[in-house]
Amino acid sequence: MITLKGFIRRFLSDPVAIGAGAVLLLLVLMAALAPFLAPQNPYDLMQLSIMDSEMPPAWHPGGDDRFLLGTDAQGRGVLSTIMYGTGISLLIGIGAVIVQGVLGVTLGLIAGYKGGWIDAFLMRLADIQMSLSTLMIAIIALAIFQAAFDANTYADYALYMLIVIIGVAEWPKFARTVRSSVLGERNKEYVDAARVIGLSQRRIMVTHILPNTLTPVLVISTIQVAEAIMTEAALSFLGLGMPTDRPSLGSLIRSGFEFIFSGSWWITLYPAIVLVVLILALNLMGDWLRDVLNPKLRRGDE
Amino acid sequence: MAMLEISDLHVAFPKGRTGEVEALRGVSLTLEKGQRLGVVGESGAGKSMLAFAILNLIAEPGRVSEGSIVFHGENLLDLSERDIRRIRGNRISMIFQDPMVTLNPVLTIGTQMVETLKAHRRISTAEARRLCIAKLKEVAIPSAEGRLDAYPHELSGGLRQRVVIAIALLTDPELIIADEPTTALDVTIQAEIMALILKLCRENDVALILITHDLGVVAEVTERIMIMYAGVCVETGPTQQIIRTPRHPYSAGLLKALPQFAGRGARLYQIPGSMPPITALPPGCAYHPRCERATGRCSAQIPPLEHGCACFHPLDQTEAAS
Amino acid sequence: MTDAIVETKGVEVRFPLPAHFLSRKKPVLHALNTVDIAIRPGESFCVVGESGCGKTTLGRTIIGLQRPTAGEIYFKGQRIDTMDEATRKPIRREMQMVFQNPYASLNPRRNVFETLAEPVRHLMSERSGAEVRAQVEDVLEATGCDPSWQRKLPHEFSGGQRQRIAIARALVTNPAFIVADEPISALDVSIQAQILNLLNDLQAERGLTYLFITHDLSVVEHFGTRVAVMYLGRVMELAETETLFSSPKHPYTRLLLDAIPRIEGGSFDTPREPGELPDPVNMPPGCPFAPRCPMVEARCRAERPELRRLANGTHAACHFAE
């Protein structure tokens, strides 16, 4: 067990954690405050002009001060689209992890506590799910969805579809983690003590066992957010993710990719840098959390 | 000269960025050939640390910060890892609480015993096997020949600990360090194992350092005793003398707290509080907050170990005997 | 016996073991075999034996953590093992348990108040919030805990303090009967005395009845009124504590008594043969102790001795006990 005070002390004594935390905070703030900070609103067609298309970054010849990082083929400022796009990527990442977490924690808790055939069934289901690649499931589901509905409906619901598909495809990771912690916890004497009082199974699971399995959940959540963002970026890059008028970082990279050989490298490069930095910060944060919260790796302070 | 002479041994662990805490704070002892010493203390008193220090096995980031451990005139702390291996597991053997620390679960007992022997002696495998069977017979393992090809998990806990003892004896050591060798075992098996260790030590004139929390076991097996509290030795001397007439208030309290001493249903003597962790030691004598004899001096000065007792207000003969 | 507070009649517990999926034979572990005991109000009934003898299973079966495969369990004349949860709820107030490991028996994420309030809130739901707080504070005081502990988490306490909190949790609903499963064996010697004294004081103040499970006969001698000695799921001897220690009738009891290390020394001087427990899955037909028994005869291997009353009031399961 680590106290909040100890946690903060550990955080402040680790430069990597501070760095990753600061970058994450910066990106989240940038995305959340995009409507106030961004020089243009890329969703507002009235603000766009085709005359502004494919302008290089401001410090290059032909650049314009209104568009610091240049513009894309539709005349949207790259900086503005990155700000909005980071928000969409984070939304999909966090949303998908919430879906994964709720599904995975619930099923893992039930499998671990009940045991027997319920456990066997759920874990085989997880095995099957894990043996199918997330990307493959997502490609099939989104392709069907795209074919079934017209482009406008697709554009409206793409965000939710991505959250649900990535969420459902990755629940086994949470379920397995929770199940193995439950197996460790359920034979401890404090659970017996709760049974002696006569608490119902469900109450013991939720009020006693669940809180003691959440530490590893927190650790994998961070890493899973990064993973979900990458999955979404990959899908968008393949043209199955967010539509280009509400672009995520992935769809931005894709939309610029067509122009990379015509010399407009900035459309792809800047969103790609942001994506890499975001994923790196999330993964570093996840690794740091694992080191701090895993008592087996901790030494020294009791 | 004594076989083993430890003087003023300190073991320190880093704390925070620059600080250090001491798990052992100046422990000295001498052990003659064939002598059996019991090291008694509660968990965290530093008794296992002492064993690890003698074998040069203190895990990082801990280190021996001061003192010397002289074995037959050689300071073990000055030896290279290579030279230490010449002594550890050869002239000094060890028995741990959990036999599975010593035994490798994926190798047969025979393989492990032969390997141990060949690491220290130039002998043929056939000769080594013959010796191993002889040692297994010495520790009274039934059908010893067949057991050489058994895996550790095929044996019961008691038999496993017997195998560990046989391995410890393989190289005819002069000193065995046994760290809680029977704590994990049942009472009847504990009696078997302790009786065996006692017999083997007596017959082969092997010295023994027995580390345990059980005063009864120490009383049965050892000739001298050392009682540790919070990283120091508070009292040392002949076992029976200390058990009959303890002088340090902590030793006296430990003995009086045993149910064997109180009448049936009578209240047990209880030492108030619990031992402080090494990170939060009180000033002066570490025991003074729990001690009913403590005075102002006890909280100001650390009492030195004089005449086998580290206390400013030791019990006298009549008090001790009651 | 109708005056018993807790009574077991022919209680058996069998655990099915994982079988090879092709094998038709289903291996079964007999953890308890026809155990009949009756615990009288106000006594400290001790169950003693080595690991695997079924003493913990007996405690867990009586408290309801383990369903008996056969047999009946009574509390104050009411049969409880077949009761549904609603009928049983008022009885749960009266029966509580103290566990062995104070490091695992408290939920690490709950503070002391939440841990202690939970039994009251669940089992005495008529109590108001203020009454719950008063009840928690009373029980903390009775068990020697400081009222300031209520907002702290278990990791802030030492082992002895945690065990006090665990005892407080067991007592918070004012039970009449407590199962204490090795409540002191995970603690240091000086703390063991504190906890034993606490259990004794609480019994005197509240008229508690204990089922005290232990492997340590010296604790039984100090603490118990009557003792059941168990071996491989069976009661081998059942006697008043004094009678058991002055004239043990079963050879296994004698073996256990001989194994206690004595402060005055001498019990480990004679070497002992390694004793092997028979496989509890494939039990031999006769007396389970026969393979280790010094006075074994052909009859013992063929016919299982039943627990029978001897002239001095002791019950023993041995053909030759008198």
Closest C-alpha among B163, A113, A199, A268 to residue C64: A199
Question: What is C145-181 written as a DSSP string?
Answer: --GGGGG--GGGS-HHHHHHHHHHHHHTT--SEEEEE
Query: Number of helices and strands (H, E) in chain C?
Result: 10, 12
B312 in Cβ contact with B287 (< 8 Å): no
Question: Which two three-digit tokens encode residue B307?
Answer: 């005449």
Interface check B137 vs C, CB under 8 A:
no
For A190, the closest of C85, C106, C119 (CB atoms) is: C106
Cα–Cα distance list, A70 to A78, A87, A276 (Å): 6, 20, 20
Question: Which two three-digit tokens encode residue B262?
Answer: 């109180």
Query: C272: nearest CA in chain B?
Result: B192
Which chain B residues are Cβ-neighbours of C268 within 8 angstroms? 191, 194-195, 198, 220-221
Question: Which two three-digit tokens encode residue B55?
Answer: 């074998």
User: What amino acid occupies position A266?
Assistant: W
Q: Looking at residue C1, what is its pLDDT?
A: 47
For B259, the closest of C160, C190, C221 (CB atoms) is: C221
Cα–Cα distance list, A36 to A25, A47, A92, B47 (Å): 17, 15, 21, 65
- pLDDT one-digit tens code per residue, B133-188: 998 888 888 788 888 888 988 888 888 888 998 998 888 899 999 999 888 788 88
Give the distance from residue C187's alpha carbon to the nearest chain B alpha carbon, in angstroms.
9
Contact C259 B254 (CB under 8 A): no
Where does residue C174 fall: left (phi above 0), alpha (psi -120 to 50 degrees), or beta otherwise?
A: left
Q: Looking at residue A295, what is its pLDDT?
A: 52
Give the distance from residue A106's alpha carbon to the nearest chain C alpha carbon, in angstroms.
20
Q: Looking at residue C261, what is its pLDDT?
A: 86
Contact C92 A194 (CB under 8 A): no
Question: Which two three-digit tokens encode residue B271?
Answer: 């030492």
| Predicted TM-score of the model (pTM) | 0.85
Chains sharing 3 or more CB pairs under 8 A with chain C: A, B
Cα–Cα distance list, B276 to B22, B24, B271, B279, C297 (Å): 13, 14, 13, 8, 55
Phi, psi of A261 (to 5 degrees): -85, -15
CA dist C35 and C71 (Å) reads 9
CA dist C125 and C119 (Å) reads 9
Give the distance from residue B100's alpha carbon to the nearest chain C alpha carbon, in angstroms.
18
- Classify strands B92-95 and B175-179 as parallel, antiparallel or unpaired: parallel
- The b/e string for C173-197 (b: 16+ C-beta within 10 A; e otherwise) is bebbbbbbbbbbebbbbbbbbbbbb
Q: Looking at residue B321, what is its pLDDT?
A: 61
Long-range contacts made by residues A152-156, C-beta under 8 angstroms, separation at least 24?
A: A154/A243, A155/A243, A155/A245, A155/A246
Q: Looking at residue A76, what is its pLDDT?
A: 78
Q: At what angle do helices A214-237 and A78-114 cross, to 10 degrees?
A: 140
Q: Looking at residue B322, what is its pLDDT?
A: 55
- The b/e string for B286-314 (b: 16+ C-beta within 10 A; e otherwise) is bbbebbebbeeebeeebbebeebbbbbbb
Residue B45 β-bridge partners: none
Closest C-alpha among A82, A80, A87, A86 to residue A40: A80
Residues in chain A, pLDDT under 50: 297-302
Q: Looking at residue A298, what is its pLDDT?
A: 42
Contact A193 C105 (CB under 8 A): yes
- The b/e string for A264-274 (b: 16+ C-beta within 10 A; e otherwise) is bebbbbbbbeb
Contact A190 C96 (CB under 8 A): no
Q: Looking at residue A129, what is its pLDDT?
A: 86
Contact B277 A302 (CB under 8 A): yes
Query: How confident is the model over B10-17, as a mean pLDDT?
Result: 85
Contact B15 A302 (CB under 8 A): no
Query: How confident is the model over B198-204, as a mean pLDDT?
Result: 90
Instruction: Give the three-state DSSP class for B322.
Output: coil
β-sheet with C78-79: strand ranges across: C28-39, C6-16, C70-75, C78-79
Query: A208: nearest CA in chain C?
Result: C107
Give the distance from residue C121's alpha carbon to the nearest chain B alpha carbon, in angstroms.
31
Which chain B residues are Cβ-neighbours of C196 within 8 angstroms? 259, 268
Q: Which of residues 11-50 of B touch C (CB under 8 A)?
A: 42-43
Q: Looking at residue A1, what is its pLDDT?
A: 55
Q: Which residues contact C179 (CB under 8 A, 6 or more apart)?
A: C59, C62, C63, C95, C96, C97, C98, C210, C211, C213
**Kind plus residue range of the DSSP H or E element containing C220:** helix C217-223
Which chain C residues are Cβ-neighbours of B190 within 8 angstroms? 259, 261
CA dist A61 and A70 (Å) reads 11
Give the ipTM of the model, two decimals please: 0.88
Q: How many CA atoms lie within 13 A of C29 on its CB side?
A: 14
Give the distance from residue B19's alpha carbon to the nearest chain A alpha carbon, in angstroms.
12
Contact B258 C189 (CB under 8 A): yes
Chains sharing 3 or more CB pairs under 8 A with chain A: B, C
Give the distance from residue C274's alpha carbon to the nearest chain B alpha carbon, in angstroms.
7
C239 in Cβ contact with C226 (< 8 Å): yes
Interface check C294 vs B, CB under 8 A:
no
- pLDDT one-digit tens code per residue, A212-222: 888 888 888 98
Size of interface A-C (CB pairs under 8 A): 57
Chains sharing 3 or more CB pairs under 8 A with chain B: A, C
Any idea how long chain A is? 302
Query: How confident is the model over B13-18, as a mean pLDDT?
Result: 80
Which chain C residues are Cβ-neighbours of B217 within 8 angstroms? 261
Any idea how long chain C is? 322
- pLDDT one-digit tens code per residue, B70-110: 999 889 988 888 888 888 888 999 998 888 778 888 999 99
Q: What is the pLDDT along chain C (322 residues), one digit of tens a residue?
A: 458 899 999 999 988 877 666 666 677 888 898 999 999 999 999 999 988 889 999 999 999 999 999 999 999 999 998 888 888 999 999 999 999 999 899 998 899 999 999 999 999 988 899 999 999 999 999 999 998 999 998 988 988 999 999 999 999 999 999 999 999 988 888 899 999 999 999 999 999 999 999 998 889 998 899 999 999 899 999 999 999 999 999 999 999 998 888 877 777 887 777 766 667 777 778 888 888 888 888 898 888 999 999 998 899 999 988 8
Closest C-alpha among C129, C104, C132 to residue C117: C132
Higher-scoring residue by pLDDT: B265, B189: B189
**Kind plus residue range of the DSSP H or E element containing B306:** none
Give the distance from residue B251's alpha carbon to the nearest chain A alpha carbon, in angstroms.
28
Which chain B residues are Cβ-neighbours of A300 within 8 angstroms? 14-15
Rounded to 5°, angle at Cα C43 from C42 and C45: 145
Question: Which two three-digit tokens encode residue C106?
Answer: 């408290």
Q: Looking at residue A147, what is its pLDDT?
A: 85
> What is the Cα Rg of chain C in Å?
21
Size of interface A-B (CB pairs under 8 A): 3
Interface check B244 vs A, CB under 8 A:
no
Contact B259 C273 (CB under 8 A): no
Contact A193 C169 (CB under 8 A): yes
Cα–Cα distance list, B165 to A68, A183, B86, B88 (Å): 77, 36, 19, 15
Contact A212 C99 (CB under 8 A): no
C107 in Cβ contact with A201 (< 8 Å): no
Contact B220 C261 (CB under 8 A): yes
CA dist B305 and B307 (Å) reads 7
Cα–Cα distance list, C72 to C13, C47, C93 (Å): 11, 19, 20
Lowest mean pLDDT among B30-39, B202-211, C108-117, C267-276: C267-276
C283 in Cβ contact with C232 (< 8 Å): yes
Query: B20: nearest CA in chain A?
Result: A300
Give the distance from residue B193's alpha carbon to the nearest chain C alpha carbon, in angstroms.
8
CA dist B255 and B243 (Å) reads 7
Query: C169: nearest CA in chain A?
Result: A193
Residue A299 β-bridge partners: none
For A198, the closest of C92, C105, C106 (CB atoms) is: C92
- If interface means Cβ-Cβ distance under 8 Å, which residues of chain A face chain B? 300, 302
Contact B156 C260 (CB under 8 A): no
Size of interface B-C (CB pairs under 8 A): 140
Phi, psi of C229 (to 5 degrees): -95, 125
Instruction: Give the three-state DSSP class for B162.
Output: helix
Interface check B15 vs A, CB under 8 A:
yes
